[in-house]
């Protein structure tokens, strides 16, 4: 194998020959695991610092962090004789004494045995004498390795500094919005956030004048550079462009994973052109925002929304969301009923509470009023209770003639939880979601921002969201959340399955269920049990849970699992009373797990996505193409990974050829038999 000057191969050979530190070090192309392992055995360096850097460098190339371990000394001196370096996951957290400082620290230990041992001779030469390469945990992916703690100790030369203007132009103008954190080349010692801090939006060179033609030119170039980029433009009778919709390839992949619940927000306008900027937003497996696409609309007419929803639906392969949440708007309601007839259309609580500030004046500042208002939205169990609570609120604050409240109540079936207990919202309409999670466009642009520049800034917003998701994925793969009850098998199962954020939501429900004040169990015949549960701090309110012990199917009157996809405290209490120590798999929704993206490709004959599509074959092709596209992105960094990807494609192609050949032979044999 030829040596590349300044590359990792040359560096390791230098160290093996005792020449490390004599030439400038450069962390070049990544080695394969086999090559790096072979090069490490027998390596020799000249100092403790070089020894540590050597193993850190190896760990960074393979995908793990390094900790300094035990050392021994020459007899009668403080000169090191042997020194060990471990994988950072060596040992177990519970072997350490529990202190206030480490109690809430995420658990990173898996008792991994991977390590390296150096021996120092009388001349001060450090030689590898023992090497254990096997790890018992998931290694960091190539795109995540810059986040490893020991990788941040690498020195970065001047050549590693990012030029702000060059970075801004390359990232914002070259159609790279569908790239995740792992696809961006960066110095090993910096996180992607560090790199983005260099970006200065003032240095973005716009494509042309800030008009509609400039935006179309931007779309065309993005399409040429990224095959999965989708855009659409509506023109009026005079041929003038009025409405725009666009999304990149990664947004399509995000929608396939998390497109069951969609927020459509039309409250933001671009100042210079006064166009409506309407993002389609969802919730990912970390309970963070994920963007499915953006629209610029000239007006808020029903016709514009119909065009936009059709364009959005076409871009997503004809698959409608289960639910869509919008502002209270007649035009949007009519368009949604026309384009998404099988989608549950609800009003977003965030929009309602925001509108209340401008329509209710000082009344809305009263905490007592807000409590009554929230009870009407979320705290009623029957339509009669809603009517009584609503009337009491109007009487208490003399609001019977408030036009906004009267108009809102006219569509109470679109916002009251009584009518939407079976509507999946992914927590969008929960009180925990909050205003911050909805308003993703705050402060993006000002009154001088052109439409093309605004599109570039939206691309930057999407990059930030994806960077955050990638960093959360890395954290979930490398650490385990701290469990409130260490030996609970239910919490252990949840911690292994859910992302950290979703685990904490699940744990809160589990602990809340432990505090139930009374539980009455009754048999309904056969294997069906009925539980009547009251909770601490909730007065005399009772929740009813039904459990079939033969099938382990459970349902609660609160409807949390149907709305959120997460078991409620009442259901978990019922499981506990029956000594169920593992949650049935069907109640651990895949979209909330660490493997949420991986599970989306497990297609089956019962796949609801294919049934919803008017053309099942088109749906299959779209899903298959997106899967291959994601694998290509994942494998593009390393030659070894690219070879694995190509070999898999060739193997699959040969298998398909054999399949169709055998199929044709069987068909011909059947035809010949029929003729005879």
Q: What is the DSSP string of 491-509?
A: HHHHHHHB-HHHHHHHHHH
Residues 59-91 pLDDT 10s: 888 888 898 999 988 888 888 999 999 998 888
Q: What is the pLDDT of residue 77?
A: 87
pLDDT on residue 368: 93
Question: What was the pLDDT predicted at 35?
Answer: 64
The H-assigned helical ranges of 499-591 are: 500-514, 560-564, 569-577
Closest CA relative to residue 467, chosen from 290, 336, 669, 673: 290
Domain borders along the chain are 33-93+107-151, 208-346+445-478, 349-427, 479-588, 617-675
| Selection from 107, 192, 98 nearest residue 143 by Cα | 192
d(CA 447, CA 271): 4
Q: With contact defined as beta carbons under 8 Å apart, do 554 and 545 qualify?
A: yes
Q: Which two tokens stand for residue 452?
A: 């093309």
pLDDT for the residue 451 = 84
Instruction: Pick out the chain residues at pLDDT < 50.
Output: 1-30, 100, 154-210, 435-437, 602-614
H/E element holding 381? Answer: none
Tokens of 94: 């519970």
Check residue 552 and give its pLDDT: 94
* Per-residue model confidence (pLDDT) at position 165: 33
Phi-psi region of 303 (alpha: psi -120 to 50; beta: other; left: phi over 0): alpha
- Rounded alpha-carbon distances, angstroms, from residue 471 to 122, 180, 461, 532: 45, 10, 16, 42
Phi-psi region at 579: left, alpha or beta (left = phi > 0; alpha = psi -120 to 50): left
Burial per residue of 479-516, b for 16 or more beta-carbon CB atoms within 10 angstroms, e otherwise? ebbbbeeeebebbbbbbebbbbbbbbbbbebbebbeeb
Find out whether 314 and 307 touch, Cβ atoms under 8 Å: no
CA distance 297 to 332: 13
pLDDT value at residue 268: 84
* 3, 9 Cβ separation under 8 angstroms: yes
| β partners of residue 263 | 281, 325
In this predicted structure, what is the pLDDT of residue 330?
Answer: 92
SS (H, E, C) 56-123: HHHHHHHCCCEEEEEEEECCCCCCEEEEEEEECCCCCHHHCCCCCCCCCCCECCCCCCCEEEEEECCC
How far is 152 from 27, CA to CA, in rounded Å? Answer: 13
Strands (E), 629-668: none
> Which segments of 249-335 are extended strands (E)?
261-264, 268-269, 276-283, 289-297, 323-326
CA–CA dist 325, 134 (Å, integer): 49
Residue 648 has which token pair? 């898999």
The Cα 86–Cα 68 span in angstroms is 6
pLDDT at 271: 62
Asked if 321 and 343 touch (Cβ cutoff 8 Å), the reply is yes
* Model pLDDT, residue 301: 92
- Which secondary structure element, helix H or strand E, spans residue 242, and what is its range? strand 241-247
* Residue whose structure tokens are 């004040």: 517
The widest CA-to-CA distance across the chain, in whole angstroms, is: 97
For position 394, what pLDDT does the model report? 95
């Amino acid at each position: 194998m030829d040596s590349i000057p300044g590359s990792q191969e040359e560096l390791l050979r230098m160290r093996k020959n005792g020449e490390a530190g004599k030439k400038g070090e450069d962390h070049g192309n990544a080695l394969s695991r086999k090559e790096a392992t072979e090069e490490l055995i027998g390596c020799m360096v000249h100092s403790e610092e070089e020894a540590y850097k050597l193993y850190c460098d190896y760990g960074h190339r393979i995908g793990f962090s390094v900790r300094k371990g035990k050392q021994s000394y020459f007899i009668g001196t403080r000169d090191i004789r042997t020194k060990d370096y471990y994988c950072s996951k060596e040992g177990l957290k519970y072997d350490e004494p529990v202190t206030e400082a480490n109690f809430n620290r995420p658990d990173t230990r898996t008792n991994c045995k991977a390590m390296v041992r150096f021996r120092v001779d009388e001349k001060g030469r450090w030689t590898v004498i023992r090497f254990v390469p096997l790890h018992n945990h998931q290694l960091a992916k190539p795109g995540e390795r810059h986040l490893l703690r020991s990788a941040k100790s690498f020195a970065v030369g001047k050549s590693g500094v990012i030029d702000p203007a060059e970075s801004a132009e390359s990232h914002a103008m070259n159609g790279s919005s569908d790239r995740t954190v792992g696809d961006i080349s960066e110095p090993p010692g910096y996180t992607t956030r560090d790199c983005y801090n260099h970006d200065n939006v003032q240095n973005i060179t716009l494509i042309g004048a800030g008009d509609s033609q400039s935006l179309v030119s931007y779309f065309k170039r993005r399409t040429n550079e990224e095959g999965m980029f989708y855009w659409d433009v509506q023109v009026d009778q005079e041929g003038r462009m009025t409405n725009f919709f666009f999304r990149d390839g990664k947004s399509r992949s995000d929608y396939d994973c998390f497109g069951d619940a969609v927020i459509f927000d039309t409250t933001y306008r671009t100042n210079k052109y006064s166009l409506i900027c309407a993002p389609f937003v969802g919730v990912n497996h970390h309970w963070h925002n994920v963007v499915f696409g953006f629209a610029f609309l000239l007006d808020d007419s029903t016709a514009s929304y119909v065009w936009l929803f059709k364009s959005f639906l076409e871009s997503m392969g004809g698959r409608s969301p289960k639910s869509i949440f919008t502002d209270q708007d007649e035009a949007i309601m009519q368009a949604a009923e026309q384009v998404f007839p099988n989608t549950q259309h609800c009003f977003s609580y965030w929009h309602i509470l925001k509108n209340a500030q401008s329509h209710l004046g000082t009344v809305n500042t009263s905490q007592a009023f807000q409590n009554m208002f929230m009870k009407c939205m979320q705290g009623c169990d029957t339509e009669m209770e809603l009517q009584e609570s609503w009337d009491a609120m109007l009487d208490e604050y003399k609001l019977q003639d408030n036009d906004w409240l009267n108009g809102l109540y006219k569509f109470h079936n679109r916002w009251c939880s009584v009518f939407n207990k079976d509507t999946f919202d992914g927590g969008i309409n929960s009180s925990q979601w909050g205003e911050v999670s909805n308003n993703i466009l705050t402060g993006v642009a000002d009154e001088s921002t052109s439409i093309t520049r605004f599109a570039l800034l939206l691309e930057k917003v999407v990059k930030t969201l994806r960077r955050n998701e990638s960093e959360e994925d890395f954290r979930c793969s490398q650490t385990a959340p701290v469990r409130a009850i260490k030996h609970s098998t239910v919490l252990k199962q949840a911690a292994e399955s859910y992302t950290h954020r979703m685990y904490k939501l699940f744990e809160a429900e589990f602990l809340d269920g432990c505090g139930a004040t009374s539980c009455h169990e009754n048999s309904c015949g056969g294997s069906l049990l009925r539980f009547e549960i009251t909770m601490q701090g909730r007065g005399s309110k009772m929740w009813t849970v039904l459990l079939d012990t033969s099938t382990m199917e459970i349902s609660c009157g609160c409807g949390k699992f149907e709305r959120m996809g997460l078991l409620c405290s009442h259901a978990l209490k019922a499981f506990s009373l029956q000594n169920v120590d593992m949650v049935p798999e069907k109640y651990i929704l895949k979209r909330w797990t660490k493997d949420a993206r991986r599970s989306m490709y497990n297609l089956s004959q019962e796949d609801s996505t294919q049934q919803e599509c008017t053309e099942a074959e088109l749906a299959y092709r779209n899903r298959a193409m997106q899967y291959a596209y994601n694998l290509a992105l994942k494998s593009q960094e390393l030659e070894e990974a690219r070879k694995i990807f190509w070999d898999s494609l060739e193997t699959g192609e040969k298998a398909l050829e054999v399949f169709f050949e055998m199929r044709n032979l069987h068909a011909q044999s059947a035809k010949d038999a029929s003729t005879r």
